[in-house]
A and B are shown apart, each in its own frame.
Chain A
Amino acid sequence: MRRGAWRGSLRIRLLAGTMFWIVASVVVAGWGLGGLFRQHLAEQFQAELKTHLDQLTAHLTIDEQGWPALSVPLSDPRLERPYSGLYWQIDDLASGGAAGTPGPRRSRSRSLWDHVLAAPVDAPADGEVHRHRLDGPAGTRLEVIERRVKVDERPETAAREFRLIVAADERLMIDPATRFDSALWLALGLLAGGLVIAALVQVRVGLAPLRELRAALGHLRSGRTPRLEGDFPAEIAPLVDDFNSVLAHNAEVVERARTQAGNLAHALKTPLAILGNAAAGRDDELARLVATQVDAARRQVHYHLARAQAAAAGRLAGARTALGPVLEGLLRAMRRIHAGRDLELVLHPISPDLVFRGEEQDLQEMLGNLLDNACKWTAGRVEIEARLESGGLTIAIDDDGQGIAAGQRDAVLRRGVRADQQVPGSGLGLSIVGDLAQVYGGGLRLADSPLGGLRALLSLPAADGTTRDLPGT
């Protein structure tokens, strides 16, 4: 499933790579910058301790009682505030008896209050700086540096040795690092968020032409456009052009097939007419045979031509035909062809919104056959009505003739379904209409007409958007 999504989505492909790099670079940057800052802080911290130690060394004196003291108080106010985190202590090593152990003579910064720094006993060389970590007051951890200093105050006495200690709470170093870290990660988080949003936007904008392509294909399928329309970027445009030329080629093939079927029919029909006419003038066995065979051949040609038409129907994507003009054209023809019969052909107003999703020729063939049938059987009045019904077109053609008995309607429509078993004949028109309508996903039903005769109900797919964005409506 996950793998499927990975393979199946350009968006995930593009985003996954980008996300990986964003996360990796943010983590590395945060880790690296944090490390650098900590190192810098540590160095600064040590340097500060050293500075204090140097000051301590420089101001070291021995007071009248022989206690170590400072000639000038050190400047940092933290040394005066109890448990401020910055401390100093001077041990008089010689006074303790054994060399190297601190004796009772010691001075401490005020900040140490009642705490004594218990520095481990070691013996750094004179002037050398040692570092330690000790427990400080109130459970703190201290960073400690020490130095031994020998003071020859008076030449007659032995040199005295002092241990100078400066200590600082390590929180003084850690706290800024922690604050820096949180600020750093917040900034990097914002950066990463911004980059992710930018990547999402980029992918969306970058893939927008694909969505347009899909919309264009949708329009094509629904018959709103005959080809893929729209401006596509250079990467997709060749694909779209190829697709359009395939469509054009398809249309050409369908048109050619239709033309050839028509040509074949034309080529056969003239000789058939000649044969039929030649036989009609005589009354013998041969003439009768020719007459019946010509009639059979005529029906076969008619039947198969109509089948070819149905087979080619619906193959063209994007075809759309407005219903109104086709019906008006057919009614003009009907009025002329049936001019001698004084028929009343009533076309109820057809909304220009009614558009058939298919080809004009097929629509003409279906409606032409139905209208002609109605005109043939009517006693005088034919009514045509069309409307949009549950997403499709429904066209009702009523006549006031004798109609077809309910039991026979199916047979009339089925005729011609199986070409090899059925002899095509009269009524073929209706079955061809049914077949054509089915090819388009519609259908033909026969019912009783309120006018008294037959009602033919033709349902056909409506072109998408027929109720909106029609130019000029």
Chain B
Amino acid sequence: MRLLVVEDDAILRRQVVAGLRAAGYVVDAAADGVDAHHLGDSSPYDAVVLDLGLPQIDGLTVLRKWRAAARDMPVLILTARDGWHEKVAGIDAGADDYLSKPFHMEELLARLRALIRRAGGHASAELACGPLTLDTRQGRVAIDGRVLTLTSHEYRVLAYLMHHRDEVVSRSDLVEHIYAQDFDRDSNTVEVFIARLRKKLPPGLIETVRGLGYRLSAPR
């Protein structure tokens, strides 16, 4: 799961980024509206945390531009201005949720999990695929109730596939969503992670669709 954090205050930005990374997300950060717009426009994010009072271009304008360009990732507005006037304006500009500062990191994480889940069309905090379950609140994967130990990269790949279960996910898609912007990417590593996951999971859960990518689905 790859997130974008847009916040002009450097310390708060670092804190949020650190908190999200600790929760297992891949995180990019932007400090102003121009950067934010560019990143959100060019990379596929699973969710965006957006401050409204930004230098150069304000947050609402950035959000409207994304929505006008059909960028439909979930956006959570994180702002000090918490009047309903501002909330309605933010939601009408295309935001999916609204969190006022100061906030608790746990609250932000919970809201983001809910947003990402809803974007994938999942109602519950627990995703399931056959014997496989993913508790998004705790970042825990289990098979028939037995908790599975995964590295952070393995978890990201599996979580992305679980959120898009029964869909074909291309290798480049996976790369985009498990690595941050500035990371030195290598698409071959995806195959390594898939191979390791296949060893830990019951056979047949992850199938390779030749030339297209991978698909996670419950065995029939």
Do residues A298 and B102 form an inter-chain contact, with CB atoms below 8 A?
yes
Do residues B98 and A269 form an inter-chain contact, with CB atoms below 8 A?
no
B35 an interface residue at 8 Å Cβ cutoff?
Answer: no
Do residues B15 and A274 form an inter-chain contact, with CB atoms below 8 A?
yes
Q: Which residue of chain A is the closest to B100 with respect to CB atoms?
A: A269
Do residues A367 and B84 form an inter-chain contact, with CB atoms below 8 A?
yes
Chain A residues near B16 (CB-CB < 8 A): 277
Chain B residues near A330 (CB-CB < 8 A): 84, 88
Chain A residues near B81 (CB-CB < 8 A): 262, 265-266
Do residues A368 and B118 form an inter-chain contact, with CB atoms below 8 A?
no
Shortest B219–chain A CB gap in Å is 30
Cβ-defined partner of B84 (8 Å) among A262, A333, A340:
A333
Do residues A339 and B96 form an inter-chain contact, with CB atoms below 8 A?
yes
Do residues B12 and A270 form an inter-chain contact, with CB atoms below 8 A?
yes
Cβ-defined partner of A361 (8 Å) among B11, B83, B96, B103:
B83
Q: Which residue of chain A is the closest to B12 with respect to CB atoms?
A: A274
How many B residues have CB within 8 A of the partner chain? 32
B80 an interface residue at 8 Å Cβ cutoff?
Answer: yes
Chain A residues near B95 (CB-CB < 8 A): 336
Cβ-defined partner of B105 (8 Å) among A280, A294, A302, A360:
A280
Q: Which residue of chain B is the closest to A329 with respect to CB atoms?
A: B88
Shortest A312–chain B CB gap in Å is 12
Report A359-378 CB contacts with B as 1/0, cut-off 8 Å.
01100110111001000000
Do residues B85 and A276 form an inter-chain contact, with CB atoms below 8 A?
no
Shortest B103–chain A CB gap in Å is 6
Q: Which residues of A, 378-400, contact B by the 8 Å Cβ criterion?
A: none
A337 an interface residue at 8 Å Cβ cutoff?
Answer: yes
Chain B residues near A369 (CB-CB < 8 A): 84
- Given A274-B11, A274-B15, A339-B96, decide whether A364 and B88 contact each other with a Cβ distance below 8 A: yes
Q: Which residues of B, 60-90, contact A by the 8 Å Cβ criterion?
A: 79-85, 87-88
A273 an interface residue at 8 Å Cβ cutoff?
Answer: yes
B97 an interface residue at 8 Å Cβ cutoff?
Answer: yes
Q: Which residues of A, 268-285, contact B by the 8 Å Cβ criterion?
A: 268-270, 272-278, 280
Chain A residues near B98 (CB-CB < 8 A): 333, 337
Do residues A272 and B101 form an inter-chain contact, with CB atoms below 8 A?
yes
Cα of A365 to Cα of B102 in the assembled complex, Å? 19
Q: Which residues of A, 310-353, contact B by the 8 Å Cβ criterion?
A: 329-330, 332-333, 336-337, 339-340, 342
Chain B residues near A269 (CB-CB < 8 A): 80, 100-102
How many A residues have CB within 8 A of the partner chain? 36
Shortest A264–chain B CB gap in Å is 10
Q: Which residue of chain A is the closest to B110 with respect to CB atoms?
A: A340
Do residues A278 and B15 form an inter-chain contact, with CB atoms below 8 A?
yes
Chain A residues near B105 (CB-CB < 8 A): 277, 280
B24 an interface residue at 8 Å Cβ cutoff?
Answer: no
B92 an interface residue at 8 Å Cβ cutoff?
Answer: yes
Do residues B12 and A364 form an inter-chain contact, with CB atoms below 8 A?
no
Do residues A361 and B91 form an inter-chain contact, with CB atoms below 8 A?
no
Cβ-defined partner of B80 (8 Å) among A270, A333, A342, A367:
A270
Cβ-defined partner of B102 (8 Å) among A273, A329, A337:
A273
Report B108-131 CB contacts with A as 1/0, cut-off 8 Å.
000000100110000100000000
Do residues B88 and A333 form an inter-chain contact, with CB atoms below 8 A?
yes
Chain B residues near A294 (CB-CB < 8 A): 102
Do residues B102 and A339 form an inter-chain contact, with CB atoms below 8 A?
no
Cα of A336 to Cα of B19 in the assembled complex, Å? 25
B53 an interface residue at 8 Å Cβ cutoff?
Answer: yes
Most central of A265, A267, A273, A276 by chain B CB within 10 Å: A273
Cα of A236 to Cα of B38 in the assembled complex, Å? 57
A309 an interface residue at 8 Å Cβ cutoff?
Answer: yes
Cα of A364 to Cα of B85 in the assembled complex, Å? 6
Do residues A272 and B102 form an inter-chain contact, with CB atoms below 8 A?
yes
Do residues A368 and B84 form an inter-chain contact, with CB atoms below 8 A?
yes
Cβ-defined partner of B87 (8 Å) among A267, A278, A368:
A368
Cα of A330 to Cα of B83 in the assembled complex, Å? 12
Q: Which residues of B, 140-189, contact A by the 8 Å Cβ criterion?
A: none
B135 an interface residue at 8 Å Cβ cutoff?
Answer: no
Q: Which residues of A, 59-118, contact B by the 8 Å Cβ criterion?
A: none
Shortest A358–chain B CB gap in Å is 13
Q: Which residue of chain A is the closest to B52 with respect to CB atoms?
A: A266
- Given A274-B12, A336-B96, A337-B98, decide whether A266 and B80 contact each other with a Cβ distance below 8 A: yes
Cα of A330 to Cα of B11 in the assembled complex, Å? 33
- Given A273-B102, A277-B19, decide whether A336 and B97 contact each other with a Cβ distance below 8 A: yes
Q: Which residue of chain B is the closest to A302 with respect to CB atoms?
A: B82
Chain B residues near A272 (CB-CB < 8 A): 101-102
Chain B residues near A309 (CB-CB < 8 A): 83
Do residues B9 and A270 form an inter-chain contact, with CB atoms below 8 A?
yes
Q: Which residue of chain A is the closest to B87 with respect to CB atoms?
A: A333
Q: Which residues of B, 12-38, contact A by the 8 Å Cβ criterion?
A: 12, 15-16, 19
Do residues A332 and B92 form an inter-chain contact, with CB atoms below 8 A?
yes
Q: Which residue of chain A is the closest to B113 with respect to CB atoms?
A: A340
Most central of B16, B101, B103, B104 by chain A CB within 10 Å: B101
19 extra interface residue pairs, beta carbon distance < 8 Å, beyond A266-B79, A336-B96: A262-B81, A262-B83, A268-B80, A270-B80, A280-B104, A302-B82, A330-B84, A332-B92, A333-B84, A333-B87, A333-B91, A337-B91, A339-B96, A340-B123, A361-B83, A365-B83, A365-B84, A369-B84, A372-B84
- 23 A/B residue pairs, CB under 8 Å, sorted by A: A266-B53, A266-B81, A270-B80, A272-B102, A276-B103, A280-B104, A329-B88, A329-B92, A330-B84, A330-B88, A333-B91, A333-B92, A337-B87, A337-B91, A337-B97, A337-B98, A339-B96, A342-B123, A361-B83, A361-B85, A364-B84, A368-B87, A369-B84
- B residues contacting A by CB (< 8 A) are 9, 11-12, 15-16, 19, 53, 79-85, 87-88, 91-92, 95-98, 100-105, 114, 117-118, 123
- A residues contacting B by CB (< 8 A) are 262, 265-270, 272-278, 280, 294, 298, 302, 309, 329-330, 332-333, 336-337, 339-340, 342, 360-361, 364-365, 367-369, 372
